[in-house]
Every structure is written in structure tokens, then in C-alpha cells.
Chain A
């Protein structure tokens, strides 16, 4: 069965610190997609990234970077030089059936608090 585990319930950092959010997944599919979403206090889920199971290249987008390691079934997310505006709940998710967005399986989320 598909499952996403985000073991870190809450992380607190001071502005400008780097922070890594962990995500471990389980799936029997050979083709699957992984996602990260940000949920600010306003409530909507903001799409950050999707990665397919055949692409293990790390990705960097500004202060955000993602490390996908199939060998350990992990898809970790790092924020460099964190800012107060990064404070939110971050969800890692996995899609079933090899399609991009069908039936996302979400983890329980990691609440990130960045203090000035």
C-alpha cells in the first residue's frame, strides 16, 4: 500500500538558518510521482514541485532544493536561508497509478516556524 511519512511534526528555526524537511514514501508502483505542497495559514495548498520516479536529479529553485533518493525512498526538501514568510505547514505527497495527480496520498505534514 502507498504511504507517505513525515516524521517531523514541527520544526522551529531562526531566520537565515537552513532547514530540511524529511519525507519517506512506500509504494509498489514502479512509476509514480512525488510532490511537495505548502499550506500557509490562509489554508490553500500551494504546489511547489512534482518529480517522477525516473528522474533522480536533484532540483534547485531559488532558496528551495529537493533531494530525491530512490534507494532510501526519500524525497527531502531543503530551504536555504529561511525567511519568516516560509512559515507554513509543508506536505509531501505521492500519486498512485503512475498518473500525475490521481489520488494524491499526503503525509501528515511538517509545521515550520521561522522566527525573526
Chain B
């Protein structure tokens, strides 16, 4: 079974630029999560999808972050415009449903300079 795929693995941008991350969850997984992991900290949930609907986006900075999962499979997380404090690893995870364990991708390391 293929794992959660994320791209790109690394991205360096200047502040005020835009960036997008892509996630392909494990086939058949209805629930998809985006986490932000700042260096030295544990991951923090940004947004959770159940199929193509948003379950929780209470910690998503909506003035600059957006995410979509239009067909209930792949998802894209966008930052526009980026700030220095957005430098982090962005982890995507998926689970078969809300009652099963989540599997994580390798993440995208974003550096904002």
C-alpha cells in the first residue's frame, strides 16, 4: 500500500511570495489532515477534511492560508502571502475514517527568507 505522498519536499521563498503544497493521501482514506510543525515543536493541526468537507479549520490563519480538497482525494495547501514565521514543515496525514489511526507523509519543509 502506497503511503501519503507530498510535494515538494523542500521549498525556499521570499516573504510576501505565495507557495502551494500538494498531498495525495492513501487510497480510500476519507479523512485528510494538514499539520504545521515549527522547528523544535510538535505538529499543530491546521485543517481537517472528511471527504471534501472541512471538519475543523479553527487553527488555520485564514487571512493567508487556504486549503482545498475538491474531489475528496488530493489536497492543496496554499500560503499567500508568506511570512517569516511560516517557516516550518507542513505535514499531511490521512486516515481511513475519523476512528482510525492517521498515517503521515514525509512533509514539505518551507523556508521563508
Question: Which residues does A use to contact B, with CB under 8 Å?
Answer: 4, 35, 37, 42-47, 50, 91, 93, 99-104, 106-109
- B41 in contact with A102 (CB, 8 Å): no
Q: Which residue of A lies closest to B89 (CB)?
A: A43
Given the known inter-chain contacts A100-B101, A101-B95, A102-B56, please indicate yes or no for A43 contacting B43, CB distance below 8 A: no
B54 at the interface (CB under 8 A from A): no
B48 at the interface (CB under 8 A from A): yes
- B43 in contact with A101 (CB, 8 Å): no
Q: Which residue of B lies closest to A50 (CB)?
A: B101
User: How far, in whole Å, are A44 and B37 apart by their CA atoms in the complex?
Assistant: 11
- A100 in contact with B98 (CB, 8 Å): yes
- A108 in contact with B107 (CB, 8 Å): no
B49 at the interface (CB under 8 A from A): no
- A43 in contact with B42 (CB, 8 Å): no
Among B54-113, those with CB < 8 Å from A are 55-56, 89, 91, 93, 95, 98-107, 109
Q: How far is the CB of A41 from chain B (nearest CB, A)?
A: 11
Q: Among the listed B40, B41, B56, B100, which residue makes an inter-chain contact with A100, where contact means beta carbons less than 8 Å apart?
A: B100
Q: Among the listed B4, B41, B91, which residue makes an inter-chain contact with A108, where contact means beta carbons less than 8 Å apart?
A: B41
Q: How far is the CB of B108 from chain A (nearest CB, A)?
A: 9
- B102 in contact with A99 (CB, 8 Å): no
Among A50, A93, A102, A108, max chain B CB count under 10 A is at A102
Contacts of B109 in A (CB 8 A): 43
Q: Among the listed A44, A50, A93, A102, which residue makes an inter-chain contact with B42, where contact means beta carbons less than 8 Å apart?
A: A93
- B104 in contact with A45 (CB, 8 Å): yes
B45 at the interface (CB under 8 A from A): yes
Contacts of B98 in A (CB 8 A): 99-102
Q: How far is the CB of B41 from chain A (nearest CB, A)?
A: 6
Among A43, A47, A50, A109, max chain B CB count under 10 A is at A43
User: How far, in whole Å, are A85 and B59 apart by their CA atoms in the complex?
Assistant: 34
